[in-house]
Amino acid sequence: MTDTIILCKEGTINSYLSALVVATNRSKAGEDIAVVFMQEGLAALIDKKFRYDPGLESYAEDIKKNAEAMGVPSDPFELIKMASDAGVRLYACYAWMKLLGGKPPRFDIPEGLEKLELQDLLAELGKVKKVITL
């Protein structure tokens, strides 16, 4: 059974950093963890257009440099690979895929993610120990 699900609904680099670094470290500590991308967090991956929250834009270069110094990528797809390599299960909410792109969606599931149907997400949310939104 999944211990924790992180819902990543913001399409910002800082949200990807937070969600995927937390997930990676919790997975390395033995926790069964999954990240579900939805809303803007999914749309940005589909469009491959990323930004920082407005309050962090002036820190963008520092964040990138300091993350690199810590051995953490700041590119969202590299973060996804890092988390996947650590055993984190990574999902695209298929209901949001349909909302963004029609039925069936007019685009592919972003690289590194698996499709998660709404009924499966709802079942997991009913059983999981913790849900975190980052």
Instruction: Identify the structural domains of the chain with CATH numbers, from first to last.
Output: 4-133 (3.40.1260.10)
Residues 4/133, Cβ–Cβ less than 8 Å: no
Residues 132/22, Cβ–Cβ less than 8 Å: yes
What is the per-residue pLDDT for 134? Answer: 87
Question: pLDDT 10s digit of each residue in the chain, 134 long?
Answer: 689 999 999 999 999 999 999 999 999 999 999 999 999 999 999 999 999 999 999 999 999 999 999 999 999 999 999 999 999 999 999 999 999 988 778 888 999 999 999 999 999 999 999 999 98
Q: Is this structure's pTM higher than 0.85? A: yes
* Signed CA dihedral, 48, 76, 115, 133: sign only: negative
